[in-house]
Amino acid sequence: MGLLRSLAMLVSMTLFSFLSLHVVAQSGSAPALDALLQDYAYRAFVRPSTGIPVEGVVPSNLTGIKIAAMRLRSGSLRHRGVNMYKEFRIPMGVIESPYVERLVLVYQNLGNWSGTYYPLSKYTYLAPVLGLLAYDASDLSAKNLPELDIRASGDPISIEFQDVMPAPDGSVPKCVWFDLHGLVNFSNVVSGNTCLTVQQGHFSIVVESIAPRPPPGFPPPPPSKGKE
């Protein structure tokens, strides 16, 4: 009887976990996705080493998203920075609030899910949405952790996008930054594929969408003449 009850409980928990993941994937809730990816990124710390990135594995219903995690000492982050963490170059002078002794930087590449979780009306993505979020590293089995607030106090953090589609003729690429409160900010692209930021969040390169042209063979109607 006890064995049957345990099996029933295990099946129920597995089904609940699957349904939760399905809801996250279909709802398009960016905060819910961040919480889920934090959990799966922390699971990659089997034998954590300070300053060494580890690749995480996302649930099968989010195939296409890539994640990684790197544990750092706060003092090392502030005084040394990180020369290159995926597409992110983190300079000296980055500080977190509230202060923690160790933190984890979770990397996200949303790939083909970029427009699902970060829809941007009247704009077209030229690169996938990349995320960089900081969390407390005191408990590597913790879930639903609040993000730490990290800021560059000197030089900005740079994001060097690798997979950037060419911009249509006549359009000007822009960097877009989604902060943790859902606000959208635009800035200029540097050196063709680089964006700069002083805070964490989600980033990409976009262009304004071009209105479709009328099909050939159907010229626009002549302008109407006023009454004489």
Domain count, the chain: 1
Can you tell me the mean pLDDT for 89-113?
Answer: 97
Could you tell me where the DSSP H helices lie in the chain?
A: 2-27, 30-42, 74-80, 114-117
Q: Is residue 50 situated within a structural domain?
A: yes
The pTM of the full predicted model, rounded to 2 decimals, is 0.80
Identify whether 213 is part of a domain: no
pLDDT tens digits, 183-226: 999 999 999 899 999 999 999 999 998 755 555 555 566 666 65
Tell me what the mean pLDDT of segment 77-106 comes to: 97
102 and 71 Cβ atoms separated by less than 8 Å = yes
In a domain, 38, yes or no: yes
- CA 65/CA 62 separation, integer angstroms: 6
Q: What is the mean pLDDT of the chain?
A: 85
Which pLDDT belongs to residue 104?
98
Domain assignment present for residue 12? The answer is: no
Domain residues for 144? 27-208
Which CATH number fits the domain that encloses residue 148? 2.60.220
Q: Note whether residue 220 is domain-resident.
A: no
147 within 8 A of 131, measured Cβ to Cβ:
no
Residue 51 is assigned to a structural domain of this protein? yes
Q: Is 13 inside any structural domain?
A: no
Q: What percentage of residues in the chain have a pLDDT greater than 70?
A: 80
Q: What is the pLDDT of residue 183?
A: 93
* 83-101: average pLDDT: 97
- pLDDT confidence of 59, banded at 50, 70, 90? very high
